[in-house]
Chain A
């Protein structure tokens, strides 16, 4: 069939089951928008800044498990995507990012709005293509979706020159991907799995350390079965939250720098550590040399490069986390180490997450109230900073894909556009963005997108008039020399909502909060709740730099 390459691309997107894309048009991507104009099957969400497009596609991908797609024009459109691409890369989120490019005849001439986006994004994409031949577009798109969504998923960028998009081609669906060097290992090695199971059966103090890989592989149910079968407590990473039910008796919550003390103690005392879809990140291990010192470590991950990268492991298993867990379940027998579980319970009783009762509006209380009012059924999206850690500690998400947080890159500004994307991906559900006044102001223009698209995102701003996490770092590591952390002139966020004819509420005392939340949830459109909190509030527990994990401090 004859059509323009742009039209062929739209066809390819439909074949990949894409029903929504996020983007902003511009000169060099015009032919693609023109082709989309003629096809009503793909919904286009017009954002306000390209960073919003890529974060929204990311939020959409995390909630749905599908590949998120975003579009931008060449030059500044493309460079505005960079933070979001890096964010998705660090958290292994499947995205196909499509950018326009100057015509092939102009490439390399510093033409208007030309930038070498494939060069710029080499280190932050799983792969990228500059497609110079129009008839290769169908193959490039198919490869992009395949690479983005298989193995360790991640973002793939397609850079498409304007004249390439305009050229008429004979559209043929590609059958063979011809990717000679790309064959992810899915099934774990049998004898390695057997070795792991032997270790687990002999373990007296087993602990599971679960990360984003559990969710990415859709293995959450299997993880619950595995944990229950061997009665192993489960500590989740920030990316793993929701991968194991937060309220489960075997749940240890989050581990790491701001993890629960009982999770961290369990890591330091365990004799077998079962690491599932994790990468021993420095915010988890804090100090690599003292991490899990008494444990034999089993590490399951789909990316061989993660195994042995930061921490030496005893039983490496390369494979899809879900498939490996299934294979383990077949071999393992029921077991229960009562003594160990009793110790865990003692730690939970002795070192619970706590915050003082107060007449003040406590940030931890805000998260707990959100959990109570939504019954933990809402999708919680966070930004980056103190509020993110309080959310990670207190929300205890029950199911996968309901706690959406930028883990690896820690990109402030992620929250609002990601919440927009999450709401697009889960139209019937409550989506609550927990953010700070600092993070919110980095992408607050996307509130307009939410209003325009009638996406009823509820924005809860933890407003301490400062960059709270940085302030906390300066308190601990700079002897309270506070530098450039206070916003002396913040906007009135209630009025900000009003500018868009949206509902804005201010909460300054704890007793106002439940009512405000309920009112917000009943409201059809987006709502901002400006929660005024104490700027002196710190995130605890906290492991100071270079200290072992079990020596965290409380306030």
Chain B
């Protein structure tokens, strides 16, 4: 089963190496890992998508906790959450097919962010299903280049992943 972990870490040099190294060394499979600063510049937040049964997840979580730089881990898989991914797709686009591509872009509420003589760059945000669907739809035109960010996720409503435990909204 795939799990989504929201992990707060100290924004220290090497913290990504420590986390990524832990996964490879102990044989856990990462589907994706994203990292960036939070509202507090001293704290970064990782969203890690990891494949494994409950026993593996228990070990992953415990081993992550042993890293001194890891502050908090939240397995949000079974909770209500919003998750998003961003993709940039450079697609072959001769003038004859541009109209068709622009229709697809509209349907997915994606955007064209660059126009070249024979290519377009399309930006799309959404959950994994939507991203996969937009990629599938654009494949026939010839995808020249593709980059996706990996998943970021956040709990819905009044639940938080923060240093202080879950707290009510004011």
Partner of A181, one of B14, B59, B71: B71
Partner of B25, one of A123, A127, A180, A304: A123
Contact with B along A171-184 (1 / 0, CB 8 A): 00000000111100
Residue contact B21 to A181, C-beta cutoff 8 Å? no
Partner of B68, one of A119, A127, A304, A309: A127
Residue contact B13 to A181, C-beta cutoff 8 Å? no
Residue contact B18 to A304, C-beta cutoff 8 Å? no
Residue contact B66 to A309, C-beta cutoff 8 Å? no
Contact with A along B63-75 (1 / 0, CB 8 A): 1011111111000
Task: Kindly name the residue among B13, B43, B55, B62 whose own CB sees the greatest number of chain A CB atoms within 10 A.
Answer: B62
Confirm or deny: A130 has a beta carbon within 8 angstroms of a beta carbon on chain B.
yes
Min CB–CB distance B27 → chain A (angstroms) = 13
Residue contact B14 to A305, C-beta cutoff 8 Å? no
Partner of A304, one of B17, B65, B67: B65
Residue contact B14 to A118, C-beta cutoff 8 Å? yes
Confirm or deny: A126 has a beta carbon within 8 angstroms of a beta carbon on chain B.
yes
Confirm or deny: A370 has a beta carbon within 8 angstroms of a beta carbon on chain B.
no
Residue contact A305 to B68, C-beta cutoff 8 Å? no
Contact with A along B92-119 (1 / 0, CB 8 A): 0000000000000000000000000000
Confirm or deny: B82 has a beta carbon within 8 angstroms of a beta carbon on chain A.
no
Residue contact A305 to B65, C-beta cutoff 8 Å? yes
Residue contact A181 to B63, C-beta cutoff 8 Å? no
Residue contact A122 to B21, C-beta cutoff 8 Å? yes
Residue contact A179 to B68, C-beta cutoff 8 Å? yes
Q: Which of A275-319 contact B (CB under 8 A)?
A: 303-305, 308-309
**Number of residues of chain A lying within 8 A (CB) of chain B:** 17
Confirm or deny: A147 has a beta carbon within 8 angstroms of a beta carbon on chain B.
yes
B-chain residues with CB within 8 Å of residue A123 when the two chains form the complex: 21, 25
Contact with B along A149-190 (1 / 0, CB 8 A): 000000000000000000000000000000111100000000
Min CB–CB distance B59 → chain A (angstroms) = 7
A180, B162: Cα distance in complex, Å: 12
Residue contact A119 to B70, C-beta cutoff 8 Å? no
Min CB–CB distance B64 → chain A (angstroms) = 9
A309, B58: Cα distance in complex, Å: 9
Residue contact A180 to B71, C-beta cutoff 8 Å? yes
A544, B42: Cα distance in complex, Å: 53
Residue contact A119 to B25, C-beta cutoff 8 Å? no
Residue contact B72 to A305, C-beta cutoff 8 Å? no
Partner of B59, one of A179, A180, A182, A309: A309
Partner of B62, one of A126, A179, A182, A304: A304
A147, B66: Cα distance in complex, Å: 11
Confirm or deny: B133 has a beta carbon within 8 angstroms of a beta carbon on chain A.
no
Residue contact B62 to A305, C-beta cutoff 8 Å? yes
Contact with B along A123-156 (1 / 0, CB 8 A): 1001100100000000000000001000000000
A126-B68, A127-B68, A304-B62 known; A181+B9 contact, CB < 8 A: yes
A76, B66: Cα distance in complex, Å: 29
A130, B17: Cα distance in complex, Å: 14
A-chain residues with CB within 8 Å of residue B14 when the two chains form the complex: 118-119, 122, 130
**Number of residues of chain B lying within 8 A (CB) of chain A:** 23
Contact with A along B51-62 (1 / 0, CB 8 A): 000010011001
Residue contact B17 to A119, C-beta cutoff 8 Å? yes
Confirm or deny: B146 has a beta carbon within 8 angstroms of a beta carbon on chain A.
no
Min CB–CB distance B52 → chain A (angstroms) = 14
A182, B71: Cα distance in complex, Å: 7
Of chain A, the residue at the smallest CB distance from B58 is A308
Contact with A along B139-150 (1 / 0, CB 8 A): 000000000000
B-chain residues with CB within 8 Å of residue A179 when the two chains form the complex: 68
Residue contact A181 to B67, C-beta cutoff 8 Å? yes
A-chain residues with CB within 8 Å of residue B55 when the two chains form the complex: 308
Contact with B along A98-122 (1 / 0, CB 8 A): 0000000000000000000011001
Of chain B, the residue at the smallest CB distance from A182 is B68
Confirm or deny: B127 has a beta carbon within 8 angstroms of a beta carbon on chain A.
no
B-chain residues with CB within 8 Å of residue A181 when the two chains form the complex: 9-10, 65, 67-72
Residue contact A147 to B62, C-beta cutoff 8 Å? no
Partner of A305, one of B17, B18, B25, B59: B59
Residue contact B66 to A305, C-beta cutoff 8 Å? yes
Min CB–CB distance B121 → chain A (angstroms) = 34
Min CB–CB distance A545 → chain B (angstroms) = 22
Partner of A122, one of B10, B18, B65: B18
Of chain B, the residue at the smallest CB distance from A305 is B62
- Residues of chain A at the chain B interface (Cβ within 8 Å): 118-119, 122-123, 126-127, 130, 147, 179-182, 303-305, 308-309
- Residues of chain B at the chain A interface (Cβ within 8 Å): 9-10, 13-14, 17-18, 21, 25, 43, 55, 58-59, 62-63, 65-72, 163
Among all A-B residue pairs, the 5 with the closest Cβ atoms: A305-B62, A181-B71, A127-B68, A180-B71, A181-B70
A sample of 6 cross-chain residue pairs with beta-carbon separation below 8 angstroms, ordered by A number, consists of A122-B17, A127-B67, A127-B68, A130-B13, A147-B68, A181-B9
